[in-house]
Structure 1
């Protein structure tokens, strides 16, 4: 049996109904993400008693999107891999991973469930397995408001291969970032330019707006102007300025040698770091 089959057998219905996308809305307007106890059709006290009487699976590692933030744009669905490593004396039968957003389980406003009905588990040895799933995040649906950008909770669950069907479930196993895709442009002019003359470097920092499904300027953000010489592979920071109320960037520098200018944004909790492609300036 798999985790979901166990849930159905115990509760009489597949409590993981939130696998549908978008997730269903609760009566208070939030996402209906039930607690582990509700999913398994037993009370928390019963779960605690059972946990004390049986050996539970042990989760040693959970990886979301290769340990990189989940970055989502304005239109394309973002599909990413999730996995965990778990062990039990009887071996591992199934695993489950989801991401959810909210201050607690009573106030969930975002939910990203796995695509598969069961995990793909590969045994490392008789007791330990690596289990893999995928999750898809769709802007405007799963990610229906910009306030969902930032830190999400990670749920990890494992079903042992013993007769009791021992289950480990933790809605607060770890956290992971889900972010709004950022873009950055640059233009250095004039080109070519005489040595010692002024170069004007402009650009724009934008990020995905999940509500309008368009890109909008990211305002009041510090962005570094960087330069590398024509024969170098290393950029150095010239100065740092902030974007204006439209996300625009503009500054001036003196022309010295041939090379590339770019803007570099370090990122925030809601928006990933991004570098503009270098713009070459020929200095005469």
Structure 2
């Protein structure tokens, strides 16, 4: 195969939590709530989920500067939440999230099988995450022991800028030796994670049910009736499409069919368009 055949897919870059493992992206949630609790600040799970996908320092800064949370911080500490506070909380957060990630490391059903299909097709497997290196030093070995070892890993905090900038994707292109960008697909459960791919010129596939937008564990999802599932699926799909997803699927288990469609479009000369 021509290494840079412009009408053939070469690589898929996956996010981690909510995409490959940790159905519902639950590991960070409790950690964020507990973190702010330690400083006498009440935050909701919905608030904690808001900035999901960005690097964790940026996530903490975004939460601290939300008007409702910042007002609590000012009342308690006498000044507005600032970068130094974000630094302090980030130091505490990393081990908390690492411990939580260890407890939420189950693969999303069908993820390993889907990655296996991609490998058989000769695709490279890249990965980016909003998690920092210390957290991934816990998560990556657990995933590898279970059978998932992507060809590279780019973490939040590795580069000058994280999501939604394209820099982590550029690092993937370099690590994997793939170009042009339209021969690469980014798969993610967050809007900023999809934007990272779009800003780099790749196809973007959102996962609606397994990810942060739906925000339910596998057991909680299965406990819903069909109508409730459909309502939540539709809401998550709309949010990911608004972020620019070219396709939205329930989980990575559904990815192989989507890749076949992208390949057909590439052969017709189509290229990913940023909405």
> TM class, shorter-chain normalised?
under 0.3
More strand by share: 1
Structure with greater helix share of residues: 2
Give the TM-score, by structure 1 length.
0.25
Which structure has the bigger radius of gyration? 1
Q: How does the TM-score come out when normalised to structure 2?
A: 0.25
Q: Does 1 or 2 have the higher relative contact order (CA < 8 Å, sep 6+)?
A: 2
